Amino acid sequence: MELYKQTIKLTEIQREILIGVLLGDASISLRNGKPVYSIKFEQGIANIDYINHLYLIFEPFVGQIPLEYKNKSIWFRTYRHVCFKFYYDIFYCGVNSVKKVPKNISKFLTPRSLAYWYMDDGGLTGSKIYLHTQGFVFSDQEFLRDVLKEKFGIITNLHKDKIYYKLYVISDSAPLFISLIKPYILPCFEYKLPVKKVMNT
């Protein structure tokens, strides 16, 4: 196995996707207080098609097919691999390994990353496009807002959700946001794309 691991490297597509899903629900866990440098992908059971899609993308790094947990979620985990150390180092900090937004996220965030972030942990409420950033501290969310504006021209605001906040894309920026992510959106997530209203003439 160790010899095999030495032969595999992340592709550019895999790297772009990792940035997106780590902004979302994917995680790098600890064991005995130390990072294990493996990525865990987990979603609600309704998103089984998405998890299977991610599994196929990362299959060279995975030793077991996705597993169901109590018929509520489905997940898989990659091998421990040195290539994931980079992602742990930029996304995690502190003794409790709290996820943070990397200070250099602008360098790595691409339209594909943005699409996977949205599929992984975004949603549509009415006509409003949300990115569920509640897991990040407020200052990180403000930083993400600045990055989206400076890199893509996407304007977002922070919306209070109970005691937390999350980002939403303002209506004027929604067409730009959709144009960037649409080429990468899976059929199972097309419901997250706003439907254009047909005007009667």
pLDDT at 96: 66
Query: In the predicted model, is pLDDT for residue 200 greater than 50?
Result: no
Query: For residue 104, what pLDDT is reported?
Result: 97
Burial tier of 56 (Cβ tally within 10 Å: 0-12, 13-18, 19+): exposed
Higher pLDDT pick, 98 / 78: 78
Residue 199: per-residue pLDDT = 40
Tokens 């997106």 identify what position?
A: 20
107-123 residue pLDDT tens: 999 999 999 999 999 99
Q: Are strands 156-161 and 122-125 parallel, antiparallel or unpaired?
A: unpaired
pLDDT of residue 178: 97
- Report all structural domains of the chain as residue ranges with CATH numbers, in order of start: 1-99 (3.10.28.10), 101-186 (3.10.28.10)
Give tens-digit pLDDT for 10-57: 999 999 999 999 999 999 987 877 888 999 999 999 999 999 999 999
Q: Is the entire prediction scored with pTM above 0.95?
A: no
User: pLDDT band at 171, cuts 50/70/90?
Assistant: very high
Note whether 18 and 10 are within 8 A (CB): yes
CA 119, CA 50: separation in Å to the nearest integer?
8
